[in-house]
Amino acid sequence: MLLISCPNCGSRDETEFHYGGQAHVAYPENPNELNDREWAEFLFYRDNTKGAFAERWLHSTGCRQWFNMLRDTVSYEIQAIYPMGAPRPDAAAPARESGTASLAADSTTTGTAAPSTATTSIAASTSSASTTAPEGATK
């Protein structure tokens, strides 16, 4: 079972969460101009990465907020957790190491000790993530 560190509530069991599929899939900017092939891509085609995969999760039985997670689909290691709308952290860069370390300490609940750029931005933008419309969250 995954132990997921919710940016708002701290580490909770996977059973409290709902999986939302691939992150960073933007709604088409000009829907009227899409052909059938492009609609198919938007509706049905998602990456199916073997390795680091950016995906959306909802803390459905907790704060009921969406957030993004970078997770390895082979080892299931959670590499980073970051707000909706924030760019995907680079899993291979040094930021990944500090990001992983910060999750272990559950620092995201206070937002004071997060050493990585990824988790610091979670603490700073938690409220904005819930008030602005994050990309793809409402469809």
Partner 1 sequence: MMGDQLPEHPDFLWRNPEPKSSYDAVIVGGGGHGLATAYFLAKNHGMTNIAILEKGWLAGGNMARNTTIIRSNYLWDESAAIYEHALKLWEVLPEELEYDFLFSQRGVMNLAHTLGDVRESMRRVGANKLNGVDAEWLDPQQVKELCPILNINDNIRYPVMGATYQPRAGIAKHDHVAWAFARKCDELGVDIIQNCEVTGFVKDGNRVTGVKTNRGTINTEKVGLCAAGHSSVLAEMAGFRLPIQSHPLQALVSELHEPVHPTVVMSNHVHVYVSQAHKGELVMGAGVDSYNGYGQRGSFHVIEHQMAAAVELFPIFARAHVLRTWGGIVDTTLDASPIVGTTPVDNMFVNCGWGTGGFKGTPAAGLTFAHTIATGTPHELNKPFALERFETGALIDEHGAAAVAH
**Interacting residues with partner 1 (CB under 8 A):** 1-2, 13-15, 18-19, 21, 36-37, 39-41, 43-46, 48-50, 53, 55, 71, 73-76
Residue with tokens 């272990």: 104
Least distance (Å) between residue 12 CB and partner 1: 13
Least distance (Å) between residue 128 CB and partner 1: 26
In the bound state with partner 1, the residue whose beta carbon lies nearer, of 46 and 64, is: 46
In the bound state with partner 1, the residue whose beta carbon lies nearer, of 65 and 107, is: 65
Distance CA 105, CA 83 (A): 18
**24 closest CA partner among 138, 101, 136:** 136
Identity of the amino acid at 118: A
Distance CA 93, CA 135 (A): 25
In the bound state with partner 1, the residue whose beta carbon lies nearer, of 33 and 131, is: 33
In the bound state with partner 1, the residue whose beta carbon lies nearer, of 66 and 98, is: 66
**74 closest CA partner among 47, 99, 95, 48:** 48
Identity of the amino acid at 78: I
Least distance (Å) between residue 127 CB and partner 1: 27
